[in-house]
Amino acid sequence: MWVLGWVLLLISLGLLAVLLAWSRPGTPAPVLDAEGRPIAGSIAEKTRVGINGRDQGMILKARDPAAPVLLYLHGGMPEYFLTQRYPTGLEDLFVVCWWEQRGAGLSFDPARAREPVTLEQLIADTVEVTNYLRRRFGRDRIYLMGHSGGTFLGTHVVARAPELYHAYIGVSQMSNQLRSEARTYEYMLGEYRRMGADRMVRRLQSAPVTMRDGVPDRYLAVRDTAMHRLGVGTMHDMRSFITGIFLESLRSRDYTLGEKLSLWRGKASSGVSSMWKEILATDLAERVPAVRVPVYFLHGLYDCTCSREEALHYFDRLEAPLKGFYTFAHSAHSPMFEEPARVREIMRLDVLAGTNRLADGR
């Protein structure tokens, strides 16, 4: 028995050693030139700023501090750690702010972990982060990019304060998320039936998603696994949330071990998920029917986390001075990680130029 105890202890110490090694140096990797050398004057910074009474963390990356500023709004959890394996290259075009929102990641506060996070709080925080970036970099306006749940927030922000932004970019744009979840449920149930995956069919059938009864917790417990196995989750080529997201977060060398733990403590807390019911109850086409900034929707063809069909429905109804919808044929939920070169091309030739020449023909 004591031998087993020693074996478990050695395994635990080994895992701890690996985690500590993966957590060094715990600072953002520098922006490099073509020869792999840090670029003089570039920005690679982790910082915390007082935002509406709470210290909130963010990572800033830029090849050129004089470039336009882009504020990135994550969804259910921060995503900067994925850039180690899936570099976006956005820092070549922008000063990118990867802000980790109230209650999440670098902004996680264990003393307030159970406090609800409201949409109004996040709108106010986003405006304050925007103003911090405007002051620091001397800009009248910046660009705002939301991903997944971050699009729910970003759409409200640009509708509320359009004078602060050049344009809004919605990546995997939410619209009517309840309809999106119902569409995805029916699609996955049909696919698993076709595949003869009886166990998964039974799990899905035990927790049906409907427009009348909503999205049960039992469905959410199997949702990520079911999506990833079909290639319609985070990325089209990512088949496991555990290996693709969880282990990838532990591998990041830009976070300390404590910060990695905060990433998942924030994900598990009730605070960051407290808007879920409001998201499911909202049709953005009715709540935000018009904005006064150019709007660009970037959507993966295989995305079932946020339905492309629902995003198109919203796009067609949304009033804006300029609009562009862009379908990514090889992506699911994360085109900026899956097809980064095309995202950069759209950002450079359309978003920064104020055009929609590369958009889907509609």
Q: Is residue 332 part of a domain?
A: yes
Domain with 270, as residue range(s), is: 1-356
**Structural domains counted in the chain:** 1
**Is the pLDDT assigned to residue 71 strictly greater than 50?**
yes
Q: Is residue 159 part of a domain?
A: yes
**Is the pLDDT assigned to residue 79 strictly greater than 90?**
yes
Q: The domain spanning residue 102 has which CATH number?
A: 3.40.50.1820
Rounded-to-integer distance, Cα 80 and Cα 249, Å: 9
Q: What are the pLDDT digits (tens) for 208-234? A: 999 999 999 999 999 999 999 999 999
Average pLDDT on 29-56 reads: 94
Classify 216 as helix, strand or coil: coil
pTM for this prediction: 0.93
Q: What is the DSSP string of 133-201?
A: HHHHHT-S-EEEEEETHHHHHHHHHHHH-GGGEEEEEEET--SBHHHHHHHHHHHHHHHHHHHT-HHHH
Average pLDDT on 284-306 reads: 98
Q: What is the DSSP string of 302-361?
A: T-TTTTHHHHHHHHHH-B-SSEEEEEETT-SS-HHHHSHHHHHHHIIIIITTT--TTSPP
Across the chain, mean pLDDT equals: 92
Q: Is residue 152 part of a domain?
A: yes
> Bridge partners of 182?
none
Q: What are the pLDDT digits (tens) for 158-206? A: 999 999 999 999 999 999 999 999 999 999 999 999 999 999 999 999 9
Q: Is residue 91 part of a domain?
A: yes
User: What pLDDT, on the 0 to 100 scale, is given for residue 8?
Assistant: 43
Q: Is residue 361 part of a domain?
A: no
Rounded-to-integer distance, Cα 296 and Cα 346, Å: 9
120 contact partners, CB below 8 Å, separation of at least 6: none
User: What pLDDT, on the 0 to 100 scale, is given for residue 269?
Assistant: 78
**Count of Cβ atoms closer than 10 Å to residue 278 Cβ:** 12
**Is the pLDDT assigned to residue 322 strictly greater than 80?**
yes
Q: Is residue 362 part of a domain?
A: no
Average pLDDT on 104-116 reads: 89
Average pLDDT on 2-10 reads: 43
**Is the pLDDT assigned to residue 16 strictly greater than 80?**
no
263 contact partners, CB below 8 Å, separation of at least 6: 77, 78, 81, 104, 105, 108, 249, 255
**Is the pLDDT assigned to residue 115 strictly greater than 90?**
no
Rounded-to-integer distance, Cα 204 and Cα 202, Å: 5
User: With bands split at pLDDT 50, 70 and 90, how would you rate the model's confidence at 22?
Assistant: low
Give yes or no for a contact between 359 and 326, defined as CB atoms under 8 angstroms apart.
yes
**Is the pLDDT assigned to residue 358 strictly greater than 80?**
yes
Rounded-to-integer distance, Cα 61 and Cα 178, Å: 35
Rounded-to-integer distance, Cα 108 and Cα 234, Å: 23
Q: Is residue 18 part of a domain?
A: yes
User: With bands split at pLDDT 50, 70 and 90, how would you rate the model's confidence at 111?
Assistant: confident
User: What pLDDT, on the 0 to 100 scale, is given for residue 362?
Assistant: 58
Average pLDDT on 283-292 reads: 97
For residues 3 and 336, the model is more confident at 336
User: What pLDDT, on the 0 to 100 scale, is given for residue 25?
Assistant: 73
**Is the pLDDT assigned to residue 24 strictly greater than 80?**
no
Q: Is residue 42 part of a domain?
A: yes
